């Protein structure tokens, strides 16, 4: 039986688009002793694949860590499937703050040594001896206690765009780095302070709370369900929101807005901005913050060097990146010296600007435009997008607006285009149009002509 994903991201996006179903993005984790992680992994794939589950799931002998999406009408069947396992009965499923049908486009279930890499080799450490879980209301009360120290257990690129007010935000690239740093920084307060921790969904601070209890900290607390569950509770119960900015997430969205406050800057020009992007150079793929203006000017590149590389012939680009291992450097390189306005470590709680509401953007984009087509394919290596003309016509010199739940609003002026495989000056209904694009074109994208 086939136990792995075989469809490309574009093929999966097309299926999602055609199905027309609302999908839920959710996450969950559970620490438990799993005797045979490989067999557990295969059983999950067999159970979840028919339910159209997509996502990134890690299993290990210490438990499971899952971020995924599935059709809303399969939610309860999915919940029943996971509760077949005793250690996941009654498990909390963190539903994403913002809706996106295309947050995940593959089902990937991997067996790892640990579900959260901690760098620890201490057999006496008991990960299940965790700190006290706090719901949003109690978290807020303890946060206001002057005897409390609150620590962000996430990494620098996460806390930079959003964090709890007054939190210690370690300047780290990985979770394993943060544990010894925080222990040393707070070693004088093992008994006289409340140690209050939080992370995205709870999995990291759960392990951290057990670690600090193991190291002798007496009053250890953690935010139950992390920022995701906190947001749901404060909205539902009309509680004061102590978080400011955006919550970084590890899917195509790269963030979901918690408040309208922008507390970070474009890493290239310094204007208030909290939108992450990945460098368009396939030999880089650096994750960094980039505003719309720099995105257009730099064509989604992080530096002038990468900008020059993406304009080289494809053969030359392949030669330059031959032998390079890029994947594990995406976040680490976030501290590249080419990013002049990168902030890490000691962060401010003062808003730099207010985010424009999505509804306002949609209204603005709807003025003086007409829909002409729909995304079909994106050729990653050549940076060429293809869309199908469904209405009207376009010609050289026209400006297109490409809009989608993941792509956002992107403008491009046509200087050269190919119609049905041949270079042409204009295109009409039923034509297939290809043109160079500095961003990924998705099946879910609509193509408009600005009037």
**Residues noted as catalytic:** 199
26-55 core/surface letters (b: 16 or more CB in 10 A; e: else): bbbbbbbebeebeebbbbbbeebbebbbbb
Q: Are strands 393-395 and 399-404 parallel, antiparallel or unpaired?
A: unpaired
Using CB atoms within 10 A of its CB, is residue 295 exposed (0-12), middle (13-18) or buried (19+)?
buried
- Please measure the distance between the N-terminal and C-terminal CA atoms of the chain and give it in whole angstroms: 53
The structure tokens listed for 392 are 């009207």
DSSP string, 38-85: HHHHHHHHHHHGGGT-EEEEEEETTEEEEEEEEEGGGHHHHHHHHTTS
Distance CA(324)–CA(250), nearest Å, equals 23
Strand segments (E) across 279-324: 287-289
How far does CA 248 lie from the centroid of its chain? 6
Helix (H) or strand (E) holding 229: helix 226-237
The structure tokens listed for 198 are 């939080």
Longest CA pairwise span in the chain (Å): 74
Comparing CA positions, the residue from 383, 388, 438 lying closest to residue 410 is: 438
The pair phi, psi for residue 77, each rounded to 5°, is -65, -40
Distance CA(438)–CA(311), nearest Å, equals 11
Which SS3 state, helix, strand or coil, does residue 91 take? coil
DSSP string, 187-214: GGGTTTSEEEEE-SSSHHHHHHHHHHHH
CA distances 260 to 10, 73, 83, 242, 254, Å, are 32, 31, 37, 13, 16
With tokens 């925080």, the residue in question is 182
The structure tokens listed for 279 are 């460098």
Distance CA(113)–CA(100), nearest Å, equals 31
């Amino acid at each position: 039986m086939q136990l792995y994903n075989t469809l490309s991201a574009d093929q999966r996006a097309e299926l999602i688009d055609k199905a027309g179903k609302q999908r839920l993005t959710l996450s969950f984790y559970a620490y438990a002793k799993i005797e045979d992680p490989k067999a557990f992994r295969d059983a999950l794939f067999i159970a979840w694949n028919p339910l159209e589950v997509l996502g990134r799931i890690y299993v290990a002998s210490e438990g499971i860590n899952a971020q995924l999406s599935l059709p809303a009408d399969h939610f309860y069947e999915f919940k029943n499937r996971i509760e077949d396992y005793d250690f996941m009965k009654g498990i909390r499923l963190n539903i994403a703050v913002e809706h996106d049908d295309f947050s995940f486009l593959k089902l990937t279930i991997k067996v790892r040594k640990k579900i959260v890499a901690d760098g620890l080799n201490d057999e006496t450490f008991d990960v299940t001896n965790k700190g006290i879980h706090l719901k949003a209301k109690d978290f807020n009360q303890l946060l206001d206690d002057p005897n409390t120290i609150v620590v962000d257990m996430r990494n620098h690129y996460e806390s930079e765009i959003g964090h709890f007010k007054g939190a210690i935000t370690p300047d780290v690239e990985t979770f394993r780095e943060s544990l010894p740093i925080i222990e040393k920084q707070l070693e004088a307060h093992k008994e006289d302070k409340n140690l209050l921790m939080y992370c995205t969904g709870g999995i990291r601070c759960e392990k951290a709370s057990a670690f600090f209890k193991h190291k002798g900290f007496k009053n250890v607390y953690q935010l139950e369900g992390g920022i995701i569950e906190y947001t749901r509770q404060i909205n539902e119960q009309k509680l004061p929101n102590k978080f400011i900015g955006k919550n970084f997430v590890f899917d195509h969205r790269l963030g979901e807005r918690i408040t309208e406050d922008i507390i970070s800057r474009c890493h290239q020009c310094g204007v208030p901005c909290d939108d992450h992007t990945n460098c368009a150079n396939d030999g880089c793929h650096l994750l960094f913050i980039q505003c719309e203006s720099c995105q257009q000017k730099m064509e989604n590149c992080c530096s002038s060097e990468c900008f020059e590389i993406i304009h080289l012939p494809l053969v030359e680009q392949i030669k330059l990146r031959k032998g390079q291992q890029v994947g594990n450097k995406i976040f680490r390189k976030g501290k590249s010296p080419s990013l002049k306005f990168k902030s890490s470590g000691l962060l401010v709680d003062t808003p730099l600007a207010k985010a424009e509401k999505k509804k306002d953007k949609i209204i603005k984009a709807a003025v003086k435009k007409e829909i002409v087509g729909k995304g079909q394919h994106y050729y990653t290596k050549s940076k060429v997008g293809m869309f199908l003309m469904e209405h009207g016509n376009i010609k050289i010199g026209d400006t297109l607006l490409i809009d989608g739940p993941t792509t956002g609003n992107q403008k491009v002026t046509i200087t050269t285009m190919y119609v049905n495989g041949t270079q042409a000056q204009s295109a009409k209904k039923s034509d297939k149009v290809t043109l160079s694009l500095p961003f990924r074109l998705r099946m879910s994208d609509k193509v408009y002509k600005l009037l």
